[in-house]
Amino acid sequence: MKYCPVSKKCGGCAYIDVPYEEQLKMKREEMRKIFRTKAVKPVLGMKDPYHYRHKIYASFARDKKTNRIYAGMYEENSHRKVPSEMCLIQHTLANEILTTICKLAESMRIETYDEDSGRGTLRHAYIRISKATNDVLLDIVIGSKGLPSSKNFVNAMVKKFPQIKTIILNFNRARTSMILGKDERVLYGPGYITDRIGGLEFRISSESFYQVNPEQTEVLYRTALSLAKIKDTDVVLDACCGIGTISLLAAQSAKHVIGVEINPQAIRDARNNAKHNKLLNTEFYVADAAEFIQRMNIKPDVVILDPPRSGMTLPFMHKLAQLSPDRVVYISCNPYTQVTDIEPLKKAGYKIKKIVPVDLFGFTPHVETVALLSKLDVDKHISVKIELDELDLTSAESKATYAQIKEYILEKFGLKVSALYIAQIKKKCGIELRENYNKSKKEKQVIPQCTSEKEEAIMDALRHFKMI
């Protein structure tokens, strides 16, 4: 593990001292508690959990002791800033760019913005880095009318970092915690960069929603589309479509894709992305998803949801249940709102088939979850309730086979247990073993003993099958 000198102050990486594999186990366990289902699969983690953030926000301040300008993030539960130019989860190029901005500001005598007084110029930096090309979008946020020596600043940055393809000046003079203001102008380049996912190119502007971790974004979307099982006869609705990433990936397999997003700039990017990738079986609308779905006159076969942390609205979810699509794939960065949102679907007969967590936020408690819900086919599915007395069960042994217990434990805990270990715990609980249970014929053979972790899992299975 690497050492972060400001981790105690920053508070952004709560798991910075936890081994990565242990982080993944902790996140899966948390998802099990939230969703209360054995459908939660192991977390899909990163190959390298460091420097994964390709989307970076930073604020600027002047050190009172050294009088040097530094880039930082807010200290936990405060508006005090701590240096972040050497952050272990930010892209290394972003860290270098932030350091250079600070040095340029000092040499050009550009004053940092003071939140208390509302005075100063240099307020924030927003950096976006393309994984495919390493191209950089740099958005400088100022709290004044203009940036002194802006041409010199641009020339110096581009000369130092040829990866910078566009520089935007954003104006935010409001006394608010919002980073980006409403007004901006392009100082250099086209105002956007491009990235590639799944063989498609996507235009990213300063206002575009685009995941912070591009490597895991590929894993996330690939997982979602794999669960969706889109056919060439399917009509797909992508609610909260952003710049059309999932929409266009789905369009490669679908008959038709409809994308809905409330952000006009994102929809402009989505339409441009569709045109650029020659995917003409798509249409995109600027609209609130809840309002749009109320006036839909066609039934989608597949619905994909990828909302912000606040989740979807109840009117949307109720209408979605009425439309009754075959499959719903819900991607979420907030499982607490996700588990609430899917309740109307469950009441309408949908079942959670699978939940796959994907780790996009290493060293933090956060995780993305992809949930597949599908409706039971009432023509093929019959629910039958059988009381135990009807089966005349005379022993607990009859309630579950060794294979069923093994399958349950593997599904819920991700552990493989042997029949030997199951037998040991059964005997410990006073459950009689079958007469034909395979015991070793060697008298003095050393028999391995069940570990405490597997014992707890087996005990859970025995309780589940009402054997104890």
Rounded Cα–Cα distance for residues 10 and 77 (Å): 9
- Which H or E run contains 241? none
Amino acid at 324: S
Residues 6 or more apart whose Cβ sits within 8 Å of residue 200? 248, 249, 252, 273, 277, 279
The answer to whether 123 and 141 are in contact (CB under 8 A) is yes
CB atoms within 10 A of CB 442: 8
- Does 240 participate in catalysis according to the annotation? no
Give the residue from 331, 341, 375, 366 showing the smallest Cα distance to 224. 331
The span from the CA of 332 to the CA of 247, in Å, is 16
The one catalytic residue in 10, 333, 429, 450 is 333
Radius of gyration of the chain from its Cα atoms, rounded to whole angstroms: 27
Nearest to 242 by CA among 331, 347, 165: 331
Sheet holding 69-74: strands in order across? 81-83, 69-74, 55-62, 122-129, 136-142, 164-171, 183-188
**Residues catalogued as catalytic:** 333
